[in-house]
Amino acid sequence: MGIRFVLMVNKQGQTRLAQYYEYLNLEERRALEGEIVRKCLARNEQQCSFVEHRNYKVVYRRYASLFFLVGVDNEENELAILEFIHLLVETMDRHFGNVCELDIMFHLEKAHFMLEEMVMNGCIVETSKSNILAPIQLMDKA
Amino acid sequence: MAGPSLMDSLFQRSVDDIIKGIRLSPPGTESTFIAKSLDEIRREIKSTDPQTKATALHKLTYLHSLHGADMSWAAFHSVELSSSSAHSHKRIAFLAASLSFNPSTTEVILLLTHQLRKDLSSSNVHEVSLALSTLSSICNPDLARDLTPELFTLLSSSKIFVRKKAIAAVLRVFEQYPDAVLVCFKRVVENLENGDMGVLSAVVGLFCELTEKDPKSYLPLAPEFYKILVDCRNNWVLIKVIKIFAKLAPLEPRLGKRVVEPICEHMGRTGAKSLAFECVRTIVTSLSDHDSAVKLAVGKLREFLLDDDPNLKYLGLQALAIVARTNMWAVLENKELVVKALSDVDVNIKLEALRLVMCMVSEDNIMEICRILISHALKSDPEFCNEILDFILLTCGRNFYEVIFDFDWYVSFLGEMARIPHCQKGSEIESQLVDIGMRVKDARLQLVHVARDLVIDPALLGNPFIHGVLAAAAWVSGEYIELSRNPFEIMEALLQPRTSLLTPSVRAVYIQSAFKVIIFCLNSYLKLNGDDPSYPSESTYSDVKSDYPGRFETVASQLLSDTEPDNPNMVVKHGQKPSVSSKMHHLTLESLVALVNLVETNLGPLAGSNEVEVQERASNVLGLIKLIKPKLLGCLDTREGDKANGELKASEMVELIFGAFSEDLGPVSLNAQERVPVPDGLVLKENLRDLEEICGDIELPLSTSFSLVKLQTMDATSNLEHHSKEEFEPSTESTSLLAEHRKRHGLYYLPAENAGIISNDYPPAHDPKDKASDETEDLVKLTEQSLVIKKKPNQAKSRPVVVKLDDGEGFKVAAKAPEFKADLISGAVQEVLLGNEATTSSSRRKSSKKSSKRREMDESNVGVPESKNEIVKADMPEIGFSSSGRRKHHGHGKERKHRSSGKDKVHDHKDKQKSEHGHGKHKSRQRADGALAAQSPVIPDFLL
């Protein structure tokens, strides 16, 4: 299962979105998030965007005050995941218009729906922004 | 608790209110706010008004997802709300379900089955898509089984939006309910030819996951994947499809030959780094025997390494490490870039670079590389410093110090490493110091020097991380004290006051070493005095002396400066052994008494120590002193008179103890025990549970009839196999235990050279009487001989002899290849593919028959599935009607065809091929029918 989880975390280390593609209970989630956030947030701009943690590779990227962290298994292509993160950000940007942390906080379910359109079962199924947003825009109209 | 009132519904707080509330609450009070909100939610969620309920659930989901609130209690409410007619409510319900349900424990999932089935069959694509997403995240075996028919229909839905999601959901369903493969697999495969990128992306992603688990089963689909590889222009899809080939190519060399070209093409053409990197990675992992491709890939890697982007640099180094396994030149070519990366700002990059540097190590450059690395270690942070030390120790110690030629250098280097301020690798350095001491005789002298420097430095005692190293140094100092320049100095170091900072176990080693030192000094003194030629340790001593003549000069001179020369008449003199006495003649009785007193004062208090090891060892030494001291003092008092008498008694004791210490612990061969012949009639595999029966009977004669009795009682098959061997070999059970023991105590087994010699301390239990004694004697002789041979250092070789254990490889016990446990999915896949393949290959062959030229061209296309069948066959012999014999014949024909496919031979074999071909087709048709027939009862509905 390519992608195992997607996290969005702010500079202070608070989780803003957490989507897991395998079941972890609350304690496991909290522990995992804590460890990964500590590891990734300590790194600076000149360092690479890949961190190995437990049996995951974590690919992360920072946009303004928000970190996007994606946990993948060992077979996954790191650069493709970076592109995926970028696509996700662009998609949200198109929808919210200059997306920021607050947009995601107050529209968490929409962020989840977008992810749902893009990734299922850890596989990327949709990479076209308009296709991703079409159902969400329909929902907004309704 | 009262039910929700109208007020609650009217004034219910929205999700936004909750979020704002959390943001506004002062730090530290957030949890109170959340607890309060949860109380509200508990009330609101029971509301009959779906809007109130939905909002409550929405809030709860938010708190669960971001603030870790438990919501398992609300599982039923999600189920309830999921049947709401309002799409927005349904969404909230399913989102809550997919974020919080545990597929294996949430019981209410079963209650969702009906709702999901309804939604999956809905005409509204959004409802279907929602249900599919939910299914893929909460799927359990029951759900998978119940919803497979709906999923099957959706797999060929005309709505792309739904179809791609159905494909993505299928993976989860397959995992949970492997029988679904039989139903759905064909339709999934059909989607490989779909033109829509979403569908293709999903289906290729699905196969990428499946192939990872069991590549073999998906080889028959190689032609389909190949088409995508050549035709597709979507990078996401290409990356996945290349990943699939990375898994398939190693299984089928012809496939590798086929795909290497398009992959190289993609690598050269693409501007996307992700795709380029995937190509590189696939070439270096799975196609590493295609030299030109590897060259291209390494060229691309160099671009990555030269790039400023740390991501590319990191991945480049990682890929280079993969290349290093097969093509070392690639690393050497980029050596300077790798070394440069060692000082990168990113520790991840540094680690990768370090790994690569260690790949490059050979016996010629080890010293240089270690020097570079140590200089890096000294200026890096503690964590990375220890990583470097770890890598150095691992690489240098690998395979019995294979890369080390100059052990004097390495031993000093180990000492240096121990002194690095951040060093936390004490235990590894410790074991290597001791190990080298035992294995490499020629390194001992330098080892003793290094150990002396370590033991004597009081500053080191304060660093708990290197106590292990000090223990090793102390052990070396004691064990090889005869090589030391100044035993007195060592003794003082071993007893220095700061040793109280050591842990008890290390301190015990110190005391034991002190024991060895004092015995050595006493023995040297006594031996010089009593010139008894039959003195047993004389030979040992002169051996040592002749090995290291130069060093003993220094021992003497050091002793000279240490002892007080104001007692000239106590100076030992004699003429018989001028060389020895002249060197040791300053080892006076006074200095010896002073030494004994020093030991006594220092160890006295330790006899009452709480630590048993320390206490016991101190008592040992004190006991010895108690015995020896009066004799020594007696000598001092009575001067010439009683001296000889007292000395004689003392010397007896000292001689005994010295003898015990001077015995070198020789390693024992790993298979020494194996080579002890098992006597006739002794059955090591005897099942002892039968002992009662046997004992109940009168004693049985040790003959073949005995083993026959056993034969019946034991597991028949295994026994039959082993029976004949057992006469000569030890049982496998005992060898495995032995191997375990060897692994742990490898040092105590003989080295390879002595393999032929049987250690006499393992006497055969039932040896023929006449032979027994002779053999033992022979063994003793042989063992002695071999030891003598070993002691002589091989001068012709520049590298000192490293005593190795017999089966050095025994350390890396080859992990037993896991037996192929037919996993359920692949079993099912093979079942489907076999039928599937039979039809496709026969149709393909039909078309290929039309033009034999094309057939030759397409050969690999046809050929690949062909060989696939053979593989599949091996795993699933029971499928279809075709007997294995027939298929074998078929395979043969194919093979012959391949062999003759050289251009010039084509005509010669054309006719033959044709006939065989027809034959093959006929058979495959039969097989196809068979396979389909075998399948038909399983899926009666869907194939019609």
- pLDDT tens-place string over residues B235-268: 999 999 999 999 999 998 889 999 999 999 999 9
Is residue B132's pLDDT more than 90?
yes
Integer angstrom CA distances of residue B434 from B36, B202, B469: 64, 58, 9
Which long-range contacts (C-beta less than 8 Å, at least 24 apart) are formed by B556-563? B556/B582, B556/B583, B556/B584, B556/B585, B556/B586, B558/B485, B558/B486, B558/B489, B559/B486, B559/B488, B559/B584, B559/B586, B559/B587, B559/B591, B560/B586, B562/B486, B562/B488, B562/B489, B562/B586, B562/B591, B563/B587, B563/B588, B563/B590, B563/B591
User: Average of pLDDT values for B564-575?
Assistant: 37
DSSP H helical ranges for B604-715: 612-638, 640-662, 691-696, 704-713
- pLDDT tens-place string over residues B523-565: 888 777 654 443 343 333 334 433 443 333 334 334 434 433 3
- pLDDT tens-place string over residues B41-100: 999 998 888 899 999 999 999 999 888 889 999 999 999 999 998 989 999 999 999 999
Q: Can you say how many angstroms the Cα of residue B678 is from the centroid of all Cα atoms in its chain?
A: 35
Q: Among residues of chain B, what percentage have pLDDT more than 90? A: 25
CB contact under 8 A, B198 and A131: yes
Question: Which residue of chain A is at minimal alpha-carbon distance from B62?
Answer: A108
Candidates B666, B623, B639, B368; CA nearest to B519 is B623
Candidates B229, B156, B219, B224; CA nearest to B193 is B224
Question: Which residue of chain A is at minimal alpha-carbon distance from B97?
Answer: A23
Is residue A43's pLDDT more than 80?
yes
Q: Nearest CB to B19: which of A14, A106, A123?
A: A106
Is residue B618's pLDDT more than 80?
yes
Selected for mutation to probe chain B from A3, A28, A123, A126 (highest B CB count within 10 Å) is A123
CB contact under 8 A, B164 and A126: yes
The average confidence (pLDDT) of chain B is 73
Q: Nearest CB to A121: which of B172, B197, B272?
A: B172
Query: In angstroms, what separates the C-alpha of A126 from chain B's closest C-alpha?
Result: 5
Query: In angstroms, what separates the C-alpha of A56 from chain B's closest C-alpha?
Result: 15
CB contact under 8 A, B87 and A126: no
Query: In angstroms, what separates the C-alpha of B8 from chain A's closest C-alpha?
Result: 22
Burial class (CB in 10 A: 0-12, 13-18, 19+), B371: exposed
- pLDDT tens-place string over residues B783-833: 444 443 333 334 444 677 777 765 544 444 444 444 444 467 777 777 777
Query: In angstroms, what separates the C-alpha of A130 from chain B's closest C-alpha?
Result: 13
- Amino acid B857: pLDDT: 42
Integer angstrom CA distances of residue B567 from B628, B635, B639, B641: 21, 14, 12, 17
Q: Over the Cα atoms of chain A, what is R_g?
A: 14
CB contact under 8 A, A46 and B310: yes
**Chain A residues close to B61, C-beta within 8 Å:** 109
CB contact under 8 A, B236 and A127: yes
The average confidence (pLDDT) of chain A is 91
Q: What are phi and psi of A21, to 5 degrees?
A: -105, 10
Is residue B891's pLDDT more than 50?
no
Query: In angstroms, what separates the C-alpha of A62 from chain B's closest C-alpha?
Result: 14
- B318 token code pair: 């990682």
CB contact under 8 A, B277 and A77: yes
- pLDDT tens-place string over residues B408-452: 999 999 999 888 888 888 888 999 998 898 888 888 999 999 999
**Chain A residues close to B345, C-beta within 8 Å:** 44, 46-47
Question: Which residue of chain A is at minimal alpha-carbon distance from B206?
Answer: A123
CB contact under 8 A, A113 and B236: no
Is residue B777's pLDDT more than 70?
no
- Amino acid B90: pLDDT: 92
- pLDDT tens-place string over residues B735-750: 566 566 556 655 555 5
Candidates B220, B313, B235; CA nearest to B279 is B235
Distance CA B483, CA B713 (A): 61
User: Average of pLDDT values for B139-147?
Assistant: 92
User: Average of pLDDT values for B122-138?
Assistant: 91
- Contact criterion met (CB below 8 Å) for A124 and B201: yes
Q: Nearest CB to B310: which of A1, A47, A121?
A: A47
Given the structure tokens 């825009």, which residue do they identify?
A137
- Amino acid B742: pLDDT: 59
More reliable by pLDDT, B664 or B141? B141
pTM over 0.90: no
CA angle B641, B647, B649 (to 5 degrees): 120
**Chain B residues close to A29, C-beta within 8 Å:** 68
Candidates B458, B516, B439; CA nearest to B483 is B516
Query: In angstroms, what separates the C-alpha of B16 from chain A's closest C-alpha?
Result: 6
Question: Which residue of chain B is at minimal alpha-carbon distance from A125?
Answer: B202
Q: Among residues of chain B, what percentage have pLDDT more than 70? A: 64
Q: Nearest CB to A120: which of B70, B95, B168?
A: B168
**Chain B residues close to A106, C-beta within 8 Å:** 15-16, 19
CB contact under 8 A, A108 and B137: no
Distance CA A56, CA B301 (A): 24
Query: In angstroms, what separates the C-alpha of B429 from chain A's closest C-alpha?
Result: 28
Say which amino acid occupies A72: V
Query: In angstroms, what separates the C-alpha of A102 from chain B's closest C-alpha?
Result: 10
CB contact under 8 A, A121 and B91: no
Is residue B570's pLDDT more than 70?
no
Selected for mutation to probe chain A from B191, B239, B280 (highest A CB count within 10 Å) is B239
Selected for mutation to probe chain A from B236, B300, B317 (highest A CB count within 10 Å) is B236
Selected for mutation to probe chain B from A7, A125, A126, A131 (highest B CB count within 10 Å) is A125
Dihedral class, residue A83 (left if φ above 0, else alpha if ψ from -120 to 50, else beta): alpha
